[in-house]
Amino acid sequence: MLNGKRILLVIGGGIAAYKVLELIRRLREQGVGLDVVMTKAAKQFVTPLSVASLSGSKVFDDLFSLTDETEMGHIQLSRAADLVVVAPATADLLARMAQGLADDLAATFLLATDKKILVAPAMNLRMWLHPATRRNVETLRRDGVLFVGPDEGEMACGEYGPGRMSEPAAILGAIATALNGETKIALPPGVGAAPGEKPLAGRHVVVTSGPTHEPIDPVRYIGNRSSGKQGHAIAAAAAAAGADVTLVSGPVALADPPGVTTVHVETAAQMAAAVEAALPADIFIATAAVADWRVEAAAPQKIKKSAVLPHFALAENPDILAAVAQRRSGRPRLVVGFAAETESILAHARDKLARKQCDIIVANDVGGAEGAMGKDENQITLITPSGAETWPKMRKEDVAAKLVRHLAQLLRERLDA
C-alpha cells in the first residue's frame, strides 16, 4: 500500500526522536522514498549521519544553504512529497506551525507545503494539557493537520500521563490511513460512524465519564454507582467518527478506549481542572455523574467508630457543565449534559437544560432495578429548547454511536449557518 510513495519527514527536537530511526527503517522496508528535515534541536538527540544512513537520502537542516536554495529547495521539497510527517512534534514546533512562522527550514517547509501533514506529538504531559498547547492543536486541526497520538505512559522525566509519542507501528498505520483514506480507528461494528465515514474529522471532543469520589477520610468517600460505560462508549464512538477525543474519567473499572487521550481523576475539583485544561473543544459531553457535594474538611486519618456519631459539613462541588456552557469566550459549539433522574425525569431534565444553559440534555432513568446505572443498556430522551425526542432502549454502544452521529450533524449545521 505504501510502495512508491514519497514522504518528507520532519524530525523535531525531543527525546522521542530516537523512535524515528525505527520508523524510518519500517518505511524503507515498505518501499517508501524519504526526504528528511531535521531541526537544530533534533540533532541533539539523533545524528544526521544515522538518519541519512537509514533513510538513504540527504538530511536537510539549513534554510540558507546556497547549494540547495539556488533551486529554492524548500519549495521543491514541500511539493514533491505525497505526505508530510512531523515526528516528534514538540510543543514548540506545534506552536510555530499554528502561528505560521518560518524561522527555520522545518517551519518554512511546513508553511510552504500544499500536501497533507501528519504530526506525532511528544512532550511532557503538563505541556500537552496546557491551554496554550490545546489552542495550538485546535488551530492545527481546523487547518486540516492530522494527528496520531500522543499516547499515555511514563515520561522520560518520570511523570506519567498523556504525551508519549506513538510507537513507530502506530505512526506507520496512521501514515497508511492518511495516504490511502482508510478509517482512522477500527472499532467493533455499531460503535461510531459507518466504515469510511468520519463526520467529526478534525474536531476536538471532550467527554467526562464515570463517578467522582469525594474523600471523607483516607478509606471512605462520597460517591455513586456510575460505571462509566455510557461515557466511555461515547468517547470511543467520537474517536471512530474521526474526532480527537479527550476523555476525563473518574474512578471506573473499564479499560481506556482506543485512540482516545484519557485523563484519570478522582474528585470533582480534579475533573473540573482537567476539563478546563482540555478545552477548547468543538463539542463537550458531560456524561460523568459528578458528586454535588464534598466533605468540607476530610479527616487526615481513618475516623474510628465510637458512641458519638461523626458530623460532616458539606461544601458544594464545582458545576462543571454550567461552567463550560456559560463560558463567555471559547465556549464549545455544542455543550451536552446528562440528567440521571429517578422521578419526574423530563421535568427535571428541562429544568436542568435551562439552569445550566447547555444545548442538549440527555435524560435517562437510573432508579429502581431497571435503571441504567451500571447496566449495559440505556434508554434516553434528548431534551432541547425546541422539544424532546425519546429513543428506544438499546445497548450503550449503540446509544453512543447514534448520539455521536446526531451531534456531528448538529455541529455541521451550526458551522454552515
Residue numbers belonging to the annotated binding site for CTP: 292, 302, 318-321, 338, 352, 356
- Please give the Cα distance from 48 to 327 (Å, whole number): 48
Active site residue 157: yes
The catalytic position among 1, 72, 132, 157 is 157
Contacts of 347 (CB under 8 A, 6+ apart): none
* 3-state SS string for the chain: CCCCCEEEEEECCCHHHHHHHHHHHHHHHCCCEEEEEECCCHHHCCCHHHHHHHHCCCEECCCCCHHHHCCCHHHHHHHHCCEEEEEEECHHHHHHHHHCCCCCHHHHHHHHCCCCEEEEECCCHHHHHCHHHHHHHHHHHHCCCEECCCEEEECCCCCEEEEECCCHHHHHHHHHHHHHCCCCCCCCCCCCCCCCCCCCCCCEEEEEECECCEEEECCEEECCCCCCHHHHHHHHHHHHCCCEEEEEECCCCCCCCCCCEEEECCCHHHHHHHHHHHCCCCEEEECCECCCEEECCCCCCCCCCCCCCCCCCEEECCCHHHHHHCCCCCCCCEEEEEEEECCCHHHHHHHHHHHHCCCEEEEEECCCCCCCCCCCEECEEEEECCEEEECCCEEHHHHHHHHHHHHHHHHHHHHHC
Grid coordinates 524503507 are at which residue?
28
What are the φ and ψ backbone dihedral angles of 268, each rounded to 5 degrees?
-65, -40
Distance CA 199, CA 47 (A): 41
Length of the chain: 417
Cite the active site residues: 157
